[in-house]
Amino acid sequence: MILRSICRKCSRPLAEDEDVANMKSPINELYKKKRHTCPHCGEKQKEMEFQKPTSFREGKVELTTEEVRQRLEMMSDDDAAKMKIKGGRPEWFILTILPVPPVTVRPSITLETGERSEDDLTHKLVDVVRINERLRKNLEIGAPDFIIADIWELLQYHVSTLMSNEISTLPPARHRSGRALKTLMQRLGKKEGRFRGNLSGKRVNFSARTVISPDPYISINEIGVPMEIAKELTVPIKVNKNNIDELKKIILNGSDTHPGANYVIRQDGIRKKVTSENKKDIVEEINAGYIVERHLMDGDITIMNRQPSLHRMSMMAHKARIMPFRTIRLNLAVTIPYNADFDGDEMNLHVPQTEEAQTEAQMLMLVEKNIRSPRYGRPIIACKHDHITGSYLLTKDDTRFTAAEAAKMLFLIGIEDYPIKDEYSGKELLSYILPKDLNVEIKTSTGEYLPEYEYAVIKNGALKRGVIDDNALGEKKAKLIDVIERTYGPDTAAKFIDNSTRLALETITNHGFSIAISDLDLSTHAKNKIESVISEYHSTANKMIKDYRAGKLEKTSGLSSETTLENKILQMGGMVTNEASEIISKDMPMNSVVTMAITGARGSFVNITQMCGLVGQESLEGERISRGYVNRTLSHFEQGDMSLTPKGFVSNNYRKGLHPFEFFFDAMNSRENLMDKSLHTRHSGYMERRLINALQDLRVEYDGTVRDSKNHIIQFVAGEDGIDPAKSDAGEVSMEMAARL
Ligand SMILES: [Mg+2]
Ligand SMILES: [Zn+2]
C-alpha cells in the first residue's frame, strides 16, 4: 500500500501536500485513488501489483527487494509522518539482519529416552542458516543466475515462515512428521497463544475441578470435597503455641483416608515434604514460626465457580466437607445461581491461602450472604422441581405421617423434643422449621386452580392453612424465604432452606412421584369440546379466506388485506390454544402432571395442552409458515392454499402423534427457537462483556457517589435511588427495612 501511495521516482506521496495533510488515513486514501503522474516530479506512474507476501510487480517488471527498500529509504521523515507511518522508518519493513532469539525462547527438550527434541523455532532457524550458507557458496563460485534466484526465493520462504507459518499464499513449513511448525506468529494469537493462553488466562494454583453431583443432606453453605482433592489442596497454617499440638496431631494422622499435611516450611523458607517415613521427625522438629501446609479439612473456606461466570453468584464461598468418592457435592438449592445440573457439569474449587482472603470470602461470598439476588431483590437461592412438589405433598391438607415416619423426618431437621403421637400432619412437621414468632400470609400459586389453598397462613410459626409451593419457595418469588431472610437474617434463612430441602425430598422420596401417559387422559366430553373448537376455527378461517379472495374482507386501518387476514388467523389460533388449555385445566383430575403444573414445580397447562390437546400454530419469524416450494409449503398441498393445515397449524397433539407434515412444521419451528436461543446467548454475552469493560472501574464511594478511576462523579447517588437491590424487597425499601439498615 505504501508503494502504491508514493512516486516511483522521487518517493513523495502521490498528492499535493495540503491534501495529504487533510487526509484521515493517507495511505488508504492515496492507495485507492491512485494518481497517474507525480505532482512533485512529474514522473508517470505504473501499475503496481502485489503477488506474494514478498514479491511485487510494477508494470511487467518484477521489483527486487533492494529496489523496494530503496524507494522506502528515500521517503523523508516528514513525508512518513504526514502519511501517519508510526513506529519507525518505512524501510524497516524489509529486514537486512535477521534477529535470532536466544535459547530460552526456544528451549530443547530431552525426552525420557535420552533423545533430544528441538523447538520448532530452532528447526526453522536451522533451515534459514543452511539455505543462507548455500546461497553464499553459490555466489562465491559464481553460479548461474537462475540457480541464485531459486536459492534466494527459498531463503525468503524460510524467513517468511519463521515469522508466520500461516501465510495464505505460502505452503506451511512442516515437521518430519507432517505437522505444521509453530513459529513466531503462531505463539501469540488464538486461544492457546501467549495472550489468551498464558497471560489473560493462566493456570491457577490451589484449585481443583471435577464433576458435580447433588447432596440434599449438606447445607447450602457447604461443599462436598472428595478426599483425593482434599489431600492435594492445602491451607498454610503458621505454627504458634496454641495450635502446635493440634498441627502435630494432623501431621501424624495423615494417611490415605485421613487429612494430614503435604509440606512444612521452616522460618528460613526451606520447604520439607511430609512423608510417612519422616513425619515423626518433622513433628519433633516444628516449633512456633514454622508454616504447616495442611490438607483441606472440614470447615475450611473454599470458593466454588461454575462457568460461564455470568453474574456475582457464579462464584460463592462454601465451607469444605471432606467426603469419599470423586465428585464435588452441592446442595440442590445452589444449582439456581450456578445454573448447574448434574448431567456431567463440572465446577472449579479454589482455596484462599491467606487469612485476609479467607475472611473476606466468608464475609462477602458465603452462600447465605447471596440468597437475595442483587438483580431483582428476591431470593435466587431457592427451591425448584422436586423441592416444590415435595413441599406441596408435605403440606397439603390430607397428608399424614406415622410416628415412625415423623421421627425420621424430625431427626433429619435436628428436632429431638416433640410430643409423642400416633399421627402427624405434614403442616405440623413443616412448622418445626419455621421461626417461632413468624406471622405471614402468602398467596399460593396452587390457589389459582385449587381455591381452598389460595393462601398459606402462618401464625406464630405454625402453618395453619394452605400449601407451601412455588410462590413460597421458588426462585424470584420465594415469599417465605424472602420474609425469613428479611426478618431473621441470612443464617436463619440458610437453615430454613437446608431443612425444607430435607423435609420436601424425604416426603417426595417416600411418597414416590412419577408420571404416566394416562396422566394425560381427557374425558370424551373434553375431547369433543376441543375438537369442535378446532373445527370451528377451521371453518371460520376458510370463510375469512373466501371473503379475502372476494375482496370483501374488512381491512384493519394501515394494513393490507392480506396482512389483515394473516393477523386475524394468527390471533384466532392463539385463542383456540387458550380455549383448549382452559377446557383441559377444568377437565383433568388431580394427578402428577397436574400437580407439577399447578404448584409451579415444572411445566404449565400450555405444555399439557400441547401433549393432549393440540400443538397449535407453528410459526417462523412470527408469521404462519409460508416458505418451502413455489406458492406452498410442501408438495402435499395445492399451490396458493391459504387454509390452516398447509400453513403450519397442527391440530394433533404429541400424545396422539403428528402427521409427517405437522412434524416437519414443528421441526421448523423448533429449529428457529434453537437458533434464536444460541444467537441470543452469544449476542447478550458480548454485550455484557462490553458493559463490564466500560464499567469495571466505577465504584460507590463512602459519600454515596459513583466515581470512576479519575474520581469523576458518574452518579451522585448510586443507581439514582441509592438502593442496593440485594438488600431490598424486589427493588423497594420499606421504612422498616431502611431503619434496620
Ligand atoms: Mg448440564
Ligand atoms: Zn515523483
pLDDT of 550-561, one tens digit each?
998 888 888 999
pLDDT exceeds cutoff 80 at 740? no
User: Helix or strand or coil: residue 679?
Assistant: helix
Spatial CA neighbour of 442 closest among 456, 429, 428, 454? 456
| CA atoms within 13 A of residue 319's CA, in its CB half-sphere | 11
Ligand nearest to the CA of 211: 1
Ligand 1 center–CA 219 separation, angstroms: 22
- Chain-centroid distance, C-alpha 717: 31
Q: In this predicted model, what pLDDT tens digit does every residue of 529-548 receive, in sequence order?
A: 999 999 999 999 999 999 99
| Ligand 1 centroid distance, CA of 333 (Å) | 15
User: Taking 90 as the threshold, does the pLDDT of residue 594 lie above it?
Assistant: yes
> pLDDT tens, 318-374?
999 999 999 999 999 999 999 999 999 999 999 999 999 999 999 999 999 999 999
All domains of the chain, ordered by start, with CATH? Answer: 2-93 (no CATH), 109-188 (no CATH), 207-370 (2.40.40.20), 386-511 (1.10.274.100), 517-661 (1.10.132.30), 699-740 (no CATH)
Does an H or E element contain 489, and which? none
- CA nearest to 650, candidates 676, 626, 614: 614
Q: Tell me how many degrees the CA angle 581-585-591 measures, rounded to the nearest 5.
A: 130
Cell of 224: 462436598
Convert the pLDDT of each residue in 675-721 to its tens digit. 999 999 889 888 988 888 899 899 999 999 999 999 999 999 999 99
pLDDT for 741 equals 60
Average pLDDT in the 497-522 region? 95
Ion ligand 1 — residues with CB under 5 Å? 341, 343, 345
Ligand 1 centre to CA of 212 (Å) is 10
Residue matched to cell numbers 470458593: 303
Verify cis geometry, omega within 30 degrees of 0, for the bond prior to 39: no
Identify the residue with better confidence: 344 or 733. 344
Ligand nearest to the CA of 37: 2
pLDDT for residue 114: 83
Whether pLDDT at 729 is above 70: yes
Mean pLDDT of 603-610: 95
Counting ligands in written order, the one closest to the CA of 341 is 1
Distance 335 CA to ligand 1 centre (A): 10
Interval 440-449: pLDDT, tens: 999 999 999 9
Name 506's Cβ contacts closer than 8 Å, sequence gap at least 6. Answer: 390, 408, 409, 412
Specify which residues 57 forms β-bridges with: 49, 62
In terms of Cα–Cα distance, which of 708, 689, 700 is closest to 309?
689
For ligand 1, the distance from its centroid to the CA atom of residue 502, given in whole angstroms, is 23
In this predicted structure, the answer to whether residue 492 has a pLDDT above a threshold of 80 is yes
First to last CA, the chain: 65
In angstroms, rounded to a whole number, what is the distance separating the alpha carbons of residues 354 and 508?
Answer: 43
Contact between residue 302 and residue 223 where contact means Cβ atoms under 8 Å apart = yes
Does pLDDT of 739 surpass 80?
Answer: no
The per-residue pLDDT for range 32-80, each reduced to its tens digit, is 877 888 888 988 888 888 887 788 888 888 888 889 999 999 999 999 9
Ligand nearest to the CA of 39: 2
What type of residue sits at position 294? R
Going by C-beta distance under 8 Å and a sequence separation of 6 or more, which residues neighbour residue 360? 352
201-252 pLDDT, tens digit per residue, is 788 999 999 999 999 999 999 999 999 999 999 999 999 999 999 999 999 9
Give residue 53 CA to ligand 2 midpoint distance, Å: 25
Cα gap 248→253, rounded to integer Å: 9
Give the Å distance between the CA of 346 and the centre of ligand 1: 8
Cβ–Cβ < 8 Å for 39, 69: no
Query: Nearest ligand to the C-alpha of residue 342?
Result: 1
In this structure, the strands spanning 315-323 and 222-226 are parallel
Q: Per residue in 511-525, pLDDT tens?
A: 999 999 999 999 999
- Residue 582's nearest CA partner among 530, 532, 540 is 530
Mean pLDDT score of the chain: 93
Q: Lowest mean pLDDT: which of 167-171, 217-221, 609-613, 645-649?
A: 167-171
Q: Could you tell me what percent of the chain has a pLDDT over 70?
A: 100
Distance in Å, CA 156 to ligand 2 centroid: 30
- Report CA(214)–ligand 1 centroid distance (Å): 13
The listed range with the strongest mean pLDDT (309-313, 561-565, 661-665) is: 661-665
Question: For the stretch 688-724, what's the b/e string if a residue is b when 16 or more beta carbons lie within 10 angstroms of its beta carbon?
Answer: eeeeeeeeeeeebeeeebbbeeeeeeeeeebeeeebe
Q: At residue 625, does pLDDT exceed 80?
A: yes
* Nearest Cα residue to 352 out of 380, 318, 386: 318
The average pLDDT across 492-515 equals 96
**H or E stretch including 473?**
helix 470-473
Distance 46 CA to ligand 2 centre (A): 12
Q: Residues lining ligand 2 (ion), CB within 5 A?
A: 7, 9-10, 38, 40-41, 43
Instruction: Kindly report the three-state secondary structure assignment for every residue of 256-277.
Output: CCCCCEEEEECCCCCEEECCCC
